[in-house]
Structures are given as structure tokens and as C-alpha cells.
Structure 1
């Protein structure tokens, strides 16, 4: 068990409470963000497996379908946009992505609205039934397609039309439209399995990013810096000032020795008897040394920074890191002041390891190492 303070003071318990509240608040925010993306990926995976169109869905639409064409998606309020000056768009692909930031309901510069109406995604084409007519984008004729990452705009280039055009959707419908258009295009080129495989890979990669639940801070891990407002940062600033102020005083202490020699060489105004020639030569010797002597170089009072090899380990005076070296079987008594020690830490009989939940344990090398902490993550070295 981690060593505890027997003084009966309560500031250590208050420090542990604040640390646990801060850690859990950070964890809850990260876990909520991770879960939202995970739910969206799972929803898209289920949609990729079950999404099918129906010929009956086209009943009532002013659109004539081919014999093998089915309606996959319909949205009643879409705007037709055209680009005044556009380059070559990237070729259509099957990339599936979940927007990291929400789209903004705006129309990008250089795009004008030409019409408005109903958007229909079928198994062979994207159709906009507008007030001025119908606009078709057949999948077999698409040469370029791009989705704006900041606005709900999709632009398309086709072989039978010179000007780039596309659709501007409501923000609430943009993500669903983009994914279903990708599925429709994948069905047209018989690559639905590639979309499902890509989603499976994204889900597996995202599962590896699930945040760890933080270790519980104990009163024994509280340091004296917790009593100072600002904690270790205030202590570090005070230590830096304690080193810099004496150095500044040393630099500005004694005056230039050359000035002292010049003052000593100034003739005394008090009249005196003229000494013999020999003493005059003796007075000329100090005058010849009035040029200032070079100052000896002083070393700075502050220590020069040296790069620490930590490889992700917290800063500690023992020199423990995650890089490599020798295993630690008898850790320093202050190890729990710098690392999050597991419960029953000092009862371990192995070498020092970090568990998958971030705690460190002395059970390295045993069959049950970090058994209550999701297993061993890596070894702590010295």
C-alpha cells in the first residue's frame, strides 16, 4: 500500500479530492467525445449493411425511373448551386469520414444559387427536381466530386456538362446525404464491401483510442507544493527568481577596475616638495598601467538546461523513464510522489511497470502483473 502521512493534517485529503475531481472531469469529457464518434461510426456501419432502395419510393415523384433503377433517398428542400470559376475536382472515391467540426449553414464564396427543389438519390444518378427544370448527375459520367469540409455543399463534375455544379443542403441533412451518395456510387461500381471494410477498420482504430479511467489520487501522493497557491508552477517561478536575482547582483556588483586605476593616477592638488628623479620614475609606473584589464568571464548562476530522456514518463528526480535501461526492483521511496502508484504498491515482488490504466505497480514479471488494472502497458526503466 502507498505510504501515508500520519500527521493527521487534512490538506493532503483536500488535495487528493481536488485531484480526483479534476481527473474525472477531464476523463468524462474525453469519454463523451469518444463515445459520440463511436456511436456515429456504428450507425454508419449498420446503414452500410442494411441500406437498400425501393422502386415504390419513387411513386408520386415527377421522375421517370429506368427498369432497374430504385430510389434510395429523398430530401424536399435543396438548392442547386453553380461555381463561377472552378478547377478540376478530385475523382469520386469511397472515403468515409465523420466531420470533426460541425458544418456551418453558409454558402462559400464563388458559388451562386441557380435553382431550388427536391433532391433524389437513386441507384444510378443524383437528380434535382427544381422549379426551372431537372438537373441529373449520372454516376457513370462523374469525373469529379468533393464535399466542402466547412459548409453543407457538394460539388460535382460530369462529362456532359462543362460548368461545375452541385447541391447546397440543410446542415441537418448534409452528413446523411453524403454517406448515402457514397453508398449509391459504391453500388454502381459494385464496391459496397469496400465501404463496409473501411468502416470496420475505422471502428477498430477508434476502439484503441478509448480514454483510460484515471487512477485514484491518494493523500500520500500530495506534495508540499500543494500548500502554495498555484502549486508547483509558483514554486518553480520562485526557484527561478532565487537563481536569477543573485546572478544579476553579481553582474552589477564591482565597478570597472580600470576606472579605479585612473582615479588613483590623478595628481594630488596638495603642494608637496618635488621628490628626486628616482621617485618620479617610480610614480610613472602606475600611470603606465591605467589601461583596463580584460574582465574574467563569469559563469551564470542559473544551471544550463539539459534534455531529459523521459519518453512519456512524468518528470522525476530519480531518472525513471519509459525509454529503456535497467529494470527497477527496489524503487525510490519517493516514487509515489511522481507516479500514480497502484493500491498495495509496496507489497509487490517484481519490477516496476506501468499498467494500462496509467498506474504503476511492482508486479512486473509475474503472471498476475497489473491484473486489476487491465494488464501491463510498459516497463519503467532507470
Structure 2
């Protein structure tokens, strides 16, 4: 026997069952993806807090470690790449990707593989032990670092080398390499706490975005449009056609007014009698040039709604939408930002995201080692 609700409608019960199943499937898929990312962020935070490399991992490597140097990561299937012509790479930053993109096993255009071998990542340098020799990238001499967003390629620029070079890795190892390189560089500049703080911020944002379990729909919430295939869209399209088709028919064949035939027969042209000649009036009457009385304009309504208050969370009013509430970090602020915010001296020569210092000024040193140096330290991030 078919199940019915309290109203005795079987179709309402089926509608509620289908809708609840669909919403639960969407929720389970979103929740599973959210939990995977949450586990990954917490794993990275544990590594950032507890992992400090190992000197024992360097035993057996065909390279000599300096005093105090420890090994963070090794990979035997790395390829050395070079780029003949390239722009200046951005300075290394202590950033962790909130949602790493999917990488493809390809080599970008203009990148040439010149060697292959064992990649070793320590707390002081990145080394490739290849068949043609050894290539070192010391963190203290790095001037540029760029991770390709679509390929497992990392390019590096250093002071003592003119040509840009880097590593091409297997796609499965690229994410761990990039994060471990960030940790190693943070240790080199004594800023590991900044990486941990950024991971805490990412975890908090991710926790706030956790999917909510949908409410259960009841048969009483079913609408009559659910009986029509396509639901409300089909009903809306049908109503639009019902209004449009008669209007088109009327426009293509307008109705004839009653008595129009008799009016046409009574015109002088129908009898063939010529019309009398036009006689000009004896007195010409000029049109009056007096201006027409102006019409009074209606007064504006008294209850004019006021514009909504802009959300700024303490930030000064500005046309760029910058605030202290949250959103996206600002790495390239607008040209007129210093007209609305109190910028620090040398603002445009800094590299980093936009932050507010404790003395009230704004700086582009977010994520840098010397964030808000000389301005009482970091207070908060400026968002858009």
C-alpha cells in the first residue's frame, strides 16, 4: 500500500522523500570534502609545530652537511629545470595555500630540463644532486621564488646566478615539497611562528565554512507545481507563453473598427469630385509667443530610504571597499590607498599583503620577517 501523509496525498510524500534524499547526498559530498581539507590543514599545523628535521636523515647522502644543518625532505625523482628568459620573480613569502590547485604532469612552455637526480631540502638550502653535478639554492641568497599554479614546477632566483632555475617534481610530491620549503625558509629567517599563525587563521576560516546539515522537508511543504515535470520553471514558461502568443497574434492582425467602411465611402476621393482649391485667410494669425505656464514638479517623497551603512569594522571610509572585517588579503592595493589610510614611509617599496600596525599606520609587510618594524608591531590585516 502506498504511503500517504496526513492529507492523504501520496505525491506529496514522494516529493518530500526525493527532496530529502537529494539534499542529503549534496550535504554528504560537501561534508566529506570539508573533512578531508580540515584533516590536511591540521596535519600541516602539527608539522609546523613539531617537525624540525633530522640530522640522521643526512647519513648516506652524497653531500656533507654543515654544522647545525638538518635534513627536512628528500626526493630521488627530481628534475633540474632552467628558464632562459624570465621576469623578476616575487620575493619568497611565508604563505600557505588555502586550497592548493590540482597540478598536471606537464612542463610549462619555456622551461627546459637540464638534469635529474636527488633533491635534498635542509634548513639552510635546497640541493639537487644530479648526474651532471650539484646545484645549490641557499635561502640567504634567494631573491625570488615562484610555484607554478598549474604544473609541479618551482622556479628560484638567487643573487649569484643569472639564469633562473628550479625543480620539476612528480605531481604527488609537489604539495609536500612546497610546504616543507616554506617551513625551511621560515626557520632560516626565524619566522616559523608566522607560518603557524597563518595555519591557525586558515583553520578558523575553514571551521566557519563547515557545511550545515539541511533541514528535513515534510510532505506539507510540497507545492502543486511539483506535479508538473520541471516544477516551477515549467509553470513560469507556460504562463509567459500564454501571455506572449495572444499579444503576437493581435499585433500581426489588428482588428478593424466598426463603421470604417462607411467612413471610407463618404470621403471626397471616393466619388471622384475634385476638392475645392485652398484659399488663404485674409488675416494671418501669428502663434502666440507667450510661454506656457510651467507645471509644478512633484515634491520628492518624505520617506526617502537612506543608503545602507557600509561595513568597515573600524577602517576609515574609502572607495576601495577595504575593511578590517575579513575577506581576501590585499597584495596589490589601489594607487590611491594612501589618500584614505595612513601609509608608512616607503610603502610602495615593500612586498607583502596590506596590514595595519599598532600605531595606526598601514604597511605592505604582511607575511614578512620585519612586519610593521618600527611601528610597534602588527595589529591586524586589512581585507577587501
- TM-score by length of structure 2 reads 0.66
State the alpha-carbon separation in 2 of the partners of residues 5 and 85 from structure 1. Answer: 72
Pick closer, same or farther for the CA change 1:251–1:193 going to 2, 3 Å: same
Residue in 2 that maps onto 1:119: 119
RMSD value over aligned CA atoms?
2.5
State the alpha-carbon separation in 2 of the partners of residues 183 and 161 from structure 1. Answer: 24
Residue in 2 that maps onto 1:44: 44
Pick closer, same or farther for the CA change 1:58–1:225 going to 2, 3 Å: same
State the alpha-carbon separation in 1 of the partners of residues 110 and 152 from structure 2. Answer: 15
Q: Superposed, which structure 2 residues align to 1:187-198 within 5 Å?
A: 187-198=187-198
Q: Superposed, which structure 2 residues align to 1:53-72 within 5 Å?
A: 53-72=53-72
Higher relative contact order (CA 8 A, sep 6+): 1
Q: Superposed, which structure 2 residues align to 1:235-250 within 5 Å?
A: 235-250=235-250
State the alpha-carbon separation in 1 of the partners of residues 29 and 111 from structure 2. Answer: 38
1:12-67 deviation digits (Å, cap 9, x = unpaired): 00000011011111111111121121111111001111112122211111111111
State the alpha-carbon separation in 2 of the partners of residues 67 and 31 from structure 1. Answer: 47
- 1:103 positional shift: 0.8
Residue in 1 that maps onto 2:173: 173
State the alpha-carbon separation in 2 of the partners of residues 49 and 74 from structure 1. Answer: 20
**Quick check: 2:264–2:270 contact (8 Å CA) kept in 1?**
no
State the alpha-carbon separation in 2 of the partners of residues 73 and 14 from structure 1. Answer: 56
Residue in 1 that maps onto 2:106: 106
Whether 2:204 is the aligned partner of 1:211: answer no
Pick closer, same or farther for the CA change 1:249–1:137 going to 2, 3 Å: same
Q: Superposed, which structure 2 residues align to 1:146-185 within 5 Å?
A: 146-185=146-185
Residue in 2 that maps onto 1:335: none
Whether 2:95 is the aligned partner of 1:95: answer yes
State the alpha-carbon separation in 2 of the partners of residues 159 and 70 from structure 1. Answer: 23
- 1:99 positional shift: 4.0
State the alpha-carbon separation in 1 of the partners of residues 231 and 255 from structure 2. Answer: 40
Return 5+ residue gaps in structure 1 as ranges.
Answer: 270-279, 285-382
State the alpha-carbon separation in 2 of the partners of residues 92 and 51 from structure 1. Answer: 21
Report the 3-state secondary structure (helix = DSSP H, G, I; strand = E; otherwise coil) of the residue aligned with 1:155. Answer: strand
Q: How many residues align?
A: 271
1:274-326 deviation digits (Å, cap 9, x = unpaired): xxxxxx58x88xxxxxxxxxxxxxxxxxxxxxxxxxxxxxxxxxxxxxxxxxx
Report the 3-state secondary structure (helix = DSSP H, G, I; strand = E; otherwise coil) of the residue aligned with 1:162. Answer: coil
- 1:227 positional shift: 0.6
- TM-score by length of structure 1 reads 0.67
- 1:155 positional shift: 0.3
State the alpha-carbon separation in 2 of the partners of residues 5 and 246 from structure 1. Answer: 41
Residue in 2 that maps onto 1:35: 35
Pick closer, same or farther for the CA change 1:134–1:262 going to 2, 3 Å: farther
State the alpha-carbon separation in 2 of the partners of residues 263 and 163 from structure 1. Answer: 96
